[in-house]
Amino acid sequence: MASLWLRLSVLIFVIGCGAPGFRQAADSLTSAQREQLVATAQSFIGAPYKYGGHTIEGFDCSGLIRAVYGQVLGVELPRTVRGIYYATVEVGSGRVLPGDLVFFRISGGDIDHIGLILDKHQFLHAAEANGVIISSFDDEYYRRRIFCVKRAN
């Protein structure tokens, strides 16, 4: 399992986030705030998927992240995956923490999916087929589609 985390960190370091004007994230959150982000996100497990949704009645992936950060930190993130991507800063290799955001290229083109990192092995997200669920970085489907990890400061 440690080797998976190392591979994930190396992958993120090598490909980077590709954003112009690269800025590395400082950790401005306390461990208590990170724990609260994770706990709040986990409280939404089982909520259904709803395109454009941002409440317990239904979430899409960006609506889920926006709701968690809004509820815990009072931060109003942009409404779309792309908007959140541009409003956050890259996390350097080996500096990934619970509550950070993992971005994916699911359809193979542009960034189109986001999740909240729970720990070294898991992330939480809203999936079209299953609603709000926990998935593993061990799952090759997601591991192959990771674009980068970023942080809201």
Which listed residue (17, 54, 125, 148) is catalytic? Answer: 125
User: Regarding predicted confidence, which is higher, 15 or 63?
Assistant: 63
CATH number at residue 21: 3.90.1720.10
Number of domains comprising the chain: 1
Q: What is the pLDDT of residue 5?
A: 47
Average pLDDT over residues 102-107: 94
Look up 121 and say whether it is catalytic: no
How crowded is the C-beta side of 70, counted as CA atoms within 13 Å?
13
Which listed residue (17, 54, 113, 148) is catalytic? Answer: 113
Closest of 144, 106, 148, 109 to residue 126, by C-alpha: 106
Look up 54 and say whether it is catalytic: no
Work out the angle at residue 147's Cα, subtended by the Cα atoms of residues 77 and 131, and round it to the nearest 5 degrees.
60
Q: What is the pLDDT of residue 10?
A: 42
**pLDDT, mean over the chain:** 87
Could you tell me the pLDDT band of residue 2, with boundaries at 50, 70 and 90?
A: low
67 neighbors 144 (Cβ within 8 angstroms)? no
Distance CA 149, CA 102 (A): 4
Q: What is the phi/psi pair of residue 58, to 5°? A: 170, 135
Average pLDDT over residues 103-118: 94
131, pLDDT greater than 50: yes
CB-based burial of residue 31 (10 Å sphere; 0-12 exposed, 13-18 middle, 19+ buried)? exposed
- DSSP single-letter state for residue 92: P
Could you tell me the pLDDT band of residue 20, with boundaries at 50, 70 and 90?
A: very low
Domain that holds residue 45: 2-151
Q: Which residues pair with 93 in a beta bridge?
A: none
Look up 125 and say whether it is catalytic: yes
Instruction: For residue range 44-96, list pLDDT tens digits in order.
Output: 999 999 999 999 999 999 999 999 999 999 999 999 999 999 999 999 878 99
Which listed residue (54, 61, 121, 148) is catalytic? Answer: 61
